[in-house]
Amino acid sequence: MRAEAEKLKKFFIKNAWMANIVYPLIGVGVILLIWVIGAAAVGMEMILPTPSRAFEEFFKLLKESEFWLAVGNTLARTILSFVLGFLAAAVTATLSAFVKPAGRIIAPIITVLRSVPTMSIILIAVIALRSTQAPVLVTFLIVYPLLHSSFERALENVDPYAVNMSKVFGVPIYKRVFKLYIPAVLPDVFAASKSNVSLALKVMIASEVLAQTFDSMGVNMQISRIYLDTAQLMGWTLAAIIMSFALEGAVSLLKRFTVRWK
Name which position in 94, 183, 238, 258 contacts another protein (CB under 8 A).
183
DSSP annotation of 49 = -
Could you give the count of Cα atoms lying within 13 Å of 75 in the half-sphere of its Cβ? 17
Q: Is 43 left (phi over 0), alpha (psi -120 to 50) or beta?
A: left
Name the DSSP class of 116: S
Candidates 85-93, 107-115, 125-133, 146-154; binding stretch for another protein (CB under 8 A) = 125-133
For the chain, state the CA radius of gyration.
23
Size of the site for another protein (CB under 8 A): 52
When the beta carbons of 91 and 175 are compared against another protein, the nearer one is: 175
Asked if 8 interacts with another protein (CB under 8 A), we say no
Is 46 near another protein (CB under 8 A)? yes
DSSP 81-114: HHHHHHHHHHHHHHHHHH-HHHHHHHHHHHHHHH
User: Which of these ranges, 68-76, 112-120, 204-212, 237-245, lies near another protein under the rule CB under 8 A?
Assistant: 204-212
> From the list 59, 98, 227, 245, which residue makes contact with another protein (rule: CB under 8 A)?
227
Complex with another protein: residue 34 or 91, whichever CB lies closer: 34
Is 30 near another protein (CB under 8 A)?
A: yes
CB contact at 8 A, 158 and 184: yes
**What is the number of residues in the chain?**
262
Contacting residue, 101, 108, 117, 170, with another protein by CB under 8 A: 170
Residue number with CB closer to another protein (78 or 220): 220
Nearest CA among 137, 146, 133 for reference residue 89 = 146
Residue pair 207/122 in contact (Cβ under 8 Å)? The answer is yes
Minimum separation from the CB atom of position 238 to another protein (A): 17
Q: Where on the chain is the footprint of another protein (CB under 8 A)?
A: 26, 30, 33-34, 37-38, 41-42, 44-47, 123, 126-128, 130-132, 159, 161-162, 164-172, 175, 179-180, 183-184, 209-210, 212, 214-215, 219, 222-229, 232, 262
